Structure 1
C-alpha cells in the first residue's frame, strides 16, 4: 500500500478511542498519570533522602514539595500530549504523519520540562536523548538506511570506556560525580598521576625501623607456631604471602598488594557489589511473591543475571587494573595514555552483561562531558536552555515511535507509557495509521476499538475490519 500524506479521521477514532469527548479523555489521562507519577516519585525521593542522610528539616519542609513538583512535571507531559493531539487535529483538519506523534509531543514535552526543577533537567535530558538516539537507530535499521554491527553495543562501550578512563587519568579530565564514581569502581590506587617514571619517583611505602620490624616478626612467628596446624592460619599465611611477596612495579601505587593480587581483589570486590545490586533489585518482586509462590524466593540469590552483572563489573575492574600494571612493567612509566588501552580492553567485559541502555547512557554522558569541556576551552558555543530543547525533541521522537512504530521503541519505555496512561496508549486505532507506511499496528494485530457509531464517520466504519472489539 502506498503511504498516504494524511487521514481525515477524528481524534476520537484514532486517539482517545475509549471516550468520544476530548475533555474527558484528557481528564482520564491526567487522573491516571497523576496517580502513577506520585507512586513513582514518592518512594524515589524518600529513598534518596535517606541515602543522602537529609536532616529532619528536609523531611518536614522540602520532601513533599519536591515530590509534588516532579509529579506535576510527569503528569503534565502525559496529559498535554493528548490535549495537543486533539488541538492539532482540529487545527489541521486531518492527521499527518508528523502530527499524531511528534507534533503533539513536542509542545507538551517542552511545557512539562519547564515545570521540573532545574537541577533535574540535565539528568532527564541525558536519559531521553539516550533513548531517542536508540529509537532513531532502530528506525534507520528498519528502513534499511543502516546495518547493525554485530556486538555493536560492546564496541561502543569499549570506545566510551577508553575515553572515560583517559579523562579519569588526565589532569582536570573529570570532575564531580563522574570522577567519584570511577574512583569508587576502579579504586584510589589509579587516581591520576602524570608521567612518573620508575627512575625519578620511588613509590615504595616508607620503611619502618628495624627494631619494630624485628619485634613484629617475632610476634608473628609466635602466633604462626601456635596456629601452625590450623587451616585458618595456613590460609592466612598463604594469602599474605601471595599478596605481599609477589611482583609489583615501582610505579604501581597498590602498596599492600602485588600486581596479581591487586587484580584478583578488584575482581572479587566488584563482583560482590554487582551481585548484591542485582539481588536488591529483585527483592521487592520476591516479597510480593513470598506467600503466593514461596518456591521462587531462592531465585533471588541464584538468578543468572546476578552473576552476569557481577562478572561484568568484576572483569571490567580486573582487566583495567591488569592492563595498567602490565603497561607500567613494559614501559617503565605511569602514563595516562595507558588508560586508553586499558579502558578499551576492559570494555570487553560487556559481553558478560550486554546492555544497550548502559552503553547509550554512558555514551550520552561522554558527549555531554566533552561538550562542556569544549565550552570551558572556548571551542564550543554555549546555548541557553539547550537542555529543555533537547529534552522536548527527544521525548517527541520517543512518543512518535510509541504512536507510529512501537516495534522500534525500547520495550521498557513502552511499558512505562502504558503504566503512566493506565494502558490507554495501547487503545489507539493504529489500523488507521498503517496508511502512513510505518506498520503502526504491527504489534496490535486483531485489535479494533469499540467506537460509538454516533461519533464515528462512515470512512472509519468501512476501513476498520469487523470483530476484535476491545474495551478499556
Structure 2
C-alpha cells in the first residue's frame, strides 16, 4: 500500500491536465465538456420519466426545464470542480501525495456538487455511489491480499438480501413506497398477507367446488371474448388452472399452486426479456440502416433471455417455495418469506450482477437504518447523505486516478464520457511511484509535455 507521506514534486500540468499547461483553461475545458455531456444525459432522462409518470402540463411548463438544468449543473460541477481542486491542492501542498490527486481533490468537489442537486435525488445518488465505493474498496483489498474473493459471492449476497426484503414485504408496515410497489409488481399481490390463516382444511370442499363450477357454467359468454374457439380455449385453460391442489391459505384463488408458479414465470420472463430489448434499442437503431442484421440480434440476444430467466425463475421459485411451506406447515407465516426469498435468490445464476447485488444490499441497509431511527435505536444525521456521497465519490476518484483496474468498468467509461476522454490523459507512469500500478492499463500512453512548463523530468529519480 502506498505510504500516505510519500510525495512527488511534479506540477499539476505534468500529472493532471497534460493537454494544456494552463490550470484555468483546463478547468474551463473540462467544465464545458461536462456541461454538454450532462445535458445530453439528463434532458432525455427527465423527459422520458415525465412521460412514463404521465405528468400534467404544468410540470412541463414550470418544472421540467429547471429540474434538468439543476441536475445538469450538479454533474457539471462535479467534473469541473475536481480539476479545479486538483490544481488548488497542488499549489497549497507544493507536491502531490498518494491521496491528494484523487481523494483529496474529489472530496470538496463532490460535496459542493451534491449541494446543487435537488434534495429528493440526493438519497438515490448517495446509495449508488456508496454501493460503488464499497465494491471499489473490496477490489482494492483483494488486490492487496487483505481479503480473498469468494466464488459466487454476489449470488450469496443477493440471496441474503432477497430473503430479508421478502420478509419485510410480508410483514405489516415492513416496506413502503417504491420498494413495496416494485415487489408487489414482481411477485404479485397474492403474497401480501391480509390475515393469518390458521390450520384447517387444505382442500376446497366438494360442495364448494361444485358450486363454483355451477356458477361458472351459468355465466353468459361475453361478446368481447371474440370467437367461440377463443372462448372455449380460455374456459379450458381456466378449468385446468382452477382444478388442482391449492392450500386454503393460498390466496391465488384463480389458480392452483402449479399453474400459479408457471404463470408467474411466464409473466416475469416476458417482462425481463422486454426490458433488456428496450435497453438495446438505442444502440441497435444507430446501425439498423447500415447493418439490418442488427435487428435480429436485438430480438435473439443472449442477455435478453438471461434477464428473463432471472426474473422468471425468481418469481416462480419464491411462489413455489411459499406454497410448499404452506402445505407443509398448514398455515401462512411471514417467516416463510425468509426461506422462499433466499432460495429465489439463486435465480441470479442466470444473470450474475455484482451491481444489482450491491445496490439492493445498500438499499436494504438504508431501510434497516431508517427503521432503527423510527424505533429510536439509531441517531439521525440530517446531512449524512451529502457527506456519504462526497466520501464515496472521492474513493471512486482515488481509484480512477491511482488504480483504475479496481474501478467498475462502467463507471470508468462514464468518467471518460463526462470529461471527453481527458481522464485517460493523466500521466500515470509518474504515479507508479506510489506502488498502486497506476499505469497498468496505460502502458502505451506518454503525454507530450511542453518543456517550458515541465518542473521535473519524468525519468528523474525520486
Partner of 1:258: 256
Shift of 1:297: 1.1
Q: Would the aligned equivalents of 2:415 and 2:423 in 1 still touch at CA under 8 Å?
A: yes
Partner of 1:421: 419
Deviations 1:158-199, CA, capped at 9 Å, x for gaps: 000000000000111001111111000000100134542143
Partner of 2:224: none
Partner of 2:364: 366
TM-score by length of 1: 0.92
Distance 1:52 1:445, change over 3 A: same
Q: Would the aligned equivalents of 2:10 and 2:456 in 1 still touch at CA under 8 Å?
A: no
**SS of match in other structure, 1:91:** helix
Shift of 1:210: 6.0
Shift of 1:356: 0.4
Shift of 1:56: 1.0
Partner of 2:433: 435
**SS of match in other structure, 1:297:** helix
Distance in structure 1 (CA, Å) of the matches to 2:175 and 2:2: 52
Distance in structure 1 (CA, Å) of the matches to 2:23 and 2:260: 64
Deviations 1:49-84, CA, capped at 9 Å, x for gaps: 111111111111111111000000000000000000
Distance in structure 1 (CA, Å) of the matches to 2:297 and 2:460: 52
Shift of 1:290: 1.1
Alignment of structure 1 residues 175-214 onto 2, 5 Å: 175-193=176-194, 195-199=196-200, 213=214
TM-score by length of 2: 0.94
Partner of 1:42: 43
Distance 1:444 1:203, change over 3 A: farther
Partner of 2:79: 78
Partner of 1:94: 95
Partner of 2:135: 134
Distance 1:218 1:357, change over 3 A: closer
Distance in structure 2 (CA, Å) of the matches to 1:156 and 1:417: 28
Q: Would the aligned equivalents of 2:18 and 2:448 in 1 still touch at CA under 8 Å?
A: yes
Partner of 2:113: 112
Distance in structure 2 (CA, Å) of the matches to 1:124 and 1:331: 43
Q: Would the aligned equivalents of 1:168 and 1:192 in 2 still touch at CA under 8 Å?
A: no
Alignment of structure 1 residues 167-246 onto 2, 5 Å: 167-193=168-194, 195-199=196-200, 213=214, 216=217, 236=234, 238-246=236-244
Shift of 1:376: 0.1
Q: Would the aligned equivalents of 1:193 and 1:336 in 2 still touch at CA under 8 Å?
A: no
Distance 1:334 1:55, change over 3 A: same
**SS of match in other structure, 1:257:** coil
**SS of match in other structure, 1:390:** helix
Distance in structure 2 (CA, Å) of the matches to 1:189 and 1:317: 12
Choose the corresponding residue for 1:352, options 346, 350, 353.
350
Distance in structure 2 (CA, Å) of the matches to 1:184 and 1:419: 34
Shift of 1:343: 0.1
Distance in structure 1 (CA, Å) of the matches to 2:28 and 2:343: 53
Distance 1:51 1:236, change over 3 A: closer
Q: Which runs of 5+ in 2 are unaligned?
A: 222-226
Distance in structure 1 (CA, Å) of the matches to 2:85 and 2:216: 81
The answer as to 2:153 corresponding to 1:152 is yes
Distance in structure 2 (CA, Å) of the matches to 1:112 and 1:103: 15
Distance in structure 1 (CA, Å) of the matches to 2:203 and 2:132: 48
Deviations 1:115-145, CA, capped at 9 Å, x for gaps: 0000000000000000000000000000000
Distance in structure 2 (CA, Å) of the matches to 1:319 and 1:193: 22
Partner of 2:335: 337
Distance in structure 1 (CA, Å) of the matches to 2:338 and 2:217: 42
Deviations 1:187-242, CA, capped at 9 Å, x for gaps: 010013454214399999x969969937825978xxxxx97xx7x67854553332
Deviations 1:34-60, CA, capped at 9 Å, x for gaps: 000000000000001111111111111
Shift of 1:317: 0.2
**SS of match in other structure, 2:373:** helix
Q: Would the aligned equivalents of 1:320 and 1:346 in 2 still touch at CA under 8 Å?
A: yes
Q: Would the aligned equivalents of 1:194 and 1:336 in 2 still touch at CA under 8 Å?
A: no
Shift of 1:260: 0.1
Distance in structure 1 (CA, Å) of the matches to 2:174 and 2:204: 23
Q: Would the aligned equivalents of 1:401 and 1:408 in 2 still touch at CA under 8 Å?
A: yes
Distance in structure 1 (CA, Å) of the matches to 2:219 and 2:389: 67
Partner of 1:7: 8
Q: Would the aligned equivalents of 1:169 and 1:193 in 2 still touch at CA under 8 Å?
A: no
- Count residues with an aligned counterpart: 455
Q: Would the aligned equivalents of 1:273 and 1:310 in 2 still touch at CA under 8 Å?
A: yes
Q: Would the aligned equivalents of 1:202 and 1:251 in 2 still touch at CA under 8 Å?
A: no
Deviations 1:400-449, CA, capped at 9 Å, x for gaps: 10000000000000000000000000000000000001000001012100
